[in-house]
Amino acid sequence: MIAKLIDTLLTARGIGKDERGHFLEPDYGRDTHDPFLLADMGHAVDRILAALEKGERIAIYADFDCDGIPAAVVLHDTFQKIGYSNFEVYIPHRHNEGYGFHTQAIDTLASRGVSLIITVDVGTVAFDGVAHARSLGLDVIVTDHHELAETLPDSIVINPKRAGYPFPHLCGAAVAFKLAQALLIRGRERDIATFTNVPGWEKWLLDMVVIATVADMVPLVGENRALARFGFTVLRKSPRPGLLALCRKLRLNQSAITEDDIGFSIAPRINAASRMDKPELAFRLLSTRDSGEAEALAGELERLNSQRKGTVASLVKEAKHLAAERFPSSSVTVLGNPEWKPALLGLAANSLMEDRGGVVCLWGRDGNGVLKGSCRSDGSINLVELFRAAQVDATLEEAGGHAMAGGFSVSFEQVHHLPEIFEKAAEDLRKEIVQTPPHDAEIDPTHVSDRLVEALATMRPFGVGNPKPVFRLSSLTIESVRIFGKEQTHTELFFRTGSKTLRGFDFFRTPDGFSEVPRVGNRIDALATIERDMFRNSIALRLVDIVRSAV
């Protein structure tokens, strides 16, 4: 039964019989690609080796999120491992500088004697920044994974979306890892002593790659699946003091860490650093070799994350009140306040969207006085199409993103017209939400077992491109309903089926948030994922929904 179920799940994910060996048991050597297949990689490595030979000062210029910061750690650790110390890491301030390769930062780096800048997770469309660096006599190596423009900046550009590389979906940290890998290969080929002393060491960098791969929500297929699978092996035994301290602080079992632990616990803390104006804290935590410093930094990140949650909760409460007043029935909600911090608006917009549905756009003012906003969509309207229909050139100064998450900047003259502009643009774009199948398969509740959980684990890691399977378990009788948590926002249920009792739970959802409100004695069907509860060492149902029993 279990083998047939796994076969059904793989078929539904478009994984043919010939691919299943690669998928279920990826091989590092077979399923990852030669880094020199990336366009410009040879030129990048030669330029770095020349800089090392001459003792040039190098800057690693990283984005401030949970892809860019691990990517910076990858290159930082590589330079340290080969004994090169004339380098620095620059992470722009999210609120005061924002995303991008900024000319003022380049001026600062140039004044400190930098002659080579290596960007990570940024730079593919940084035409002005690269041109400015070149005008100052600085060379730039761009490592990035974002979408290409029609042309490239006047620099070395390493991006898996360029022609010639077999897998275009690497995250920024994976691209940085490829650069580190290629640099070490070339250094060993040239018999440079500091390189030949560390054969195979680069695999220890995969802990950073898997954190970024999961956090940045790139598709967990192909090469990403291999990098993530072996990244988890490294992560579960990583000696990094910062990771050890963070796991202790969050009460995570490092030896059994999962993609959920990254997505719900580790990544939010790393992102909290930049959202709360201290991006360097996350970098220092992941790169430090000092256990005492790691403990202090983990504590500070936890404090920042708690502060971030409180600030976002307050912002969401205010936005919900305003939305109820101004947009009681609209499917497009646009709200703003110059006092709102743009770094927090994506989180707030997502929370409001989950409550209201439709499209939610929130705007605030950054440290440079620029009005910036974040939008979230429930899928009924594609945000890229919305921005295009809103005539970006006439209305928005900048806009971009994905179908369900995007951002923009807007002038003071146009900002108050956004509700009407977005609503009008949405009229022509509305479509029925594409309903995904509510579950992957139906299973008999009595078949929930350790053996089933172990079989499902062969499909991990789960994420974009390989979602966690959702099962329908029929005809369960509710034995108890409990609301728990400090703010009473989580639900725990116990079900009975025959002689078997199952525990189900969901976070941040109260009983009235399910399609069928659970009541003791009722017979229902549960839609849920099946997983091991590491705290209780038992099997649990992670509830997706509760619906009326079909039996």
Q: How is domain 441-548 classified at the CATH fold level? A: OB fold (Dihydrolipoamide Acetyltransferase, E2P) (2.40.50)
Q: What is the pLDDT of residue 49?
A: 98
Region for residue 342 given its phi and psi (left: phi exceeds 0; alpha: psi -120 to 50; beta: otherwise): alpha
Q: What is the pLDDT of residue 168?
A: 96
CATH architecture of 31-207: Alpha-Beta Complex (3.90)
Judge whether 380 and 433 are in contact, CB under 8 Å.
yes
Judge whether 59 and 109 are in contact, CB under 8 Å.
yes
Q: What is the pLDDT of residue 378?
A: 84
Distance CA 463, CA 423 (A): 32
Which stretches of 125-266 are DSSP H helices? Answer: 127-135, 172-189, 193-196, 206-215, 222-235, 241-250, 259-261
Judge whether 283 and 72 are in contact, CB under 8 Å.
yes
Q: Report in angstroms the alpha-carbon separations of 462 from 167, 244, 406, 468.
A: 19, 23, 24, 5
Q: What is the pLDDT of residue 437?
A: 55
Per residue in 372-384, pLDDT (tens digit) is 999 999 888 888 8
Distance CA 503, CA 146 (A): 42
Q: What does R_g of the chain's alpha carbons equal in angstroms? A: 25
Q: What residue segments make up the domains of the chain, in order of their start?
A: 31-207, 327-427, 441-548
Q: What is the pLDDT of residue 400?
A: 79
Phi first, then psi: give them for residue 388, nearest 5 degrees: -65, -45
Q: What is the pLDDT of residue 14?
A: 87
Which helix (H) or strand (E) is 83 found in, with range?
none
Q: What is the pLDDT of residue 432?
A: 44
Distance CA 371, CA 414 (A): 10
Judge whether 383 and 404 are in contact, CB under 8 Å.
yes
Per residue in 401-419, pLDDT (tens digit) is 777 888 899 999 999 999 9
Distance CA 112, CA 38 (A): 31
Domain 327-427 has CATH 3.10.310.30: yes
Query: Which one, of 495, 525, 493, lies nearest residue 510 by Cα?
Result: 493
- pTM above 0.75? yes
Mean pLDDT for back-to-back runs of 10 residues, the chain (551 residues): 90 88 90 97 98 98 96 98 97 89 97 98 95 98 94 97 96 98 95 85 97 94 95 98 97 95 95 90 97 97 93 94 90 94 92 90 92 90 87 78 85 91 84 60 92 94 92 95 88 92 91 92 95 85 91 69
